[in-house]
Amino acid sequence: MKIVLSLSFNFQMRSHPMRTLFISLFLLISSICFSQYFYDASGKRVARFDDERIYDASGRFIGRIDAEKIYEASGKFIGRVDGNYLFDGSGKRIGRTDETHLYDAAGKRIGRLDADYPYDGSGKRVGRADGLTRMQVIIFFYFFY
């Protein structure tokens, strides 16, 4: 029912002079409601995730996640996730995860995920994930932080 009403609304607005304003407001509200954020340990927002796209604190596009593949803003392929393993752009394994820990390529524990809080290898909290999936946190930790 909502979809039909929405389509009807858009159809009626097609030739209306305020159409651009309504579309802009809708996009702004959508970005606020559906965005997910990563904060550093001091509480400063350092990244925003919008679906597949990642933005820094200034709102600059810094990368994207396409299924298991990770790209820089320029479009350069920088890595991928395959199960619990992470690989750089050349295919070299750079880390792995289990249910709660992050490891480097040599198997040394370099971090831990506890609910919405990631920790470094020494147990120091390094940030807070607000609404991010576990995989988004892992990708951000390995490739963008």
Question: pLDDT per residue over 87-101, tens digit each?
Answer: 999 999 999 999 889
Cα-to-chain-centroid distance, residue 49: 4
| Residues 120 and 69 placed together within one structural domain of the fold | yes
Q: How many CB atoms lie within 10 A of CB 111?
A: 24
Number of domains in the chain: 2
**15 lies in the same domain as 71:** no
- 77 and 121 together in one domain: yes
Residue 54, Cβ density class (10 Å: 0-12 exposed, 13-18 middle, ≥19 buried): buried
Contact at 8 Å (CB) between 137 and 38? yes
Look at residue 35 in the predicted model and tell me its pLDDT.
Answer: 65
Cα torsion 28, 61, 67, 44: sign: negative
Domain span at residue 17 reads 1-34
Residue 82 and residue 64 share a domain: yes
Over residues 52-66, the pLDDT tens digits come to: 899 999 999 999 999
This prediction has a pTM of 0.69
Verify that 121 and 71 share a domain, yes or no. yes
Q: Are residues 74 and 99 in the same domain?
A: yes
Which residue, 130, 126, 131, is CA-closest to 144? 126
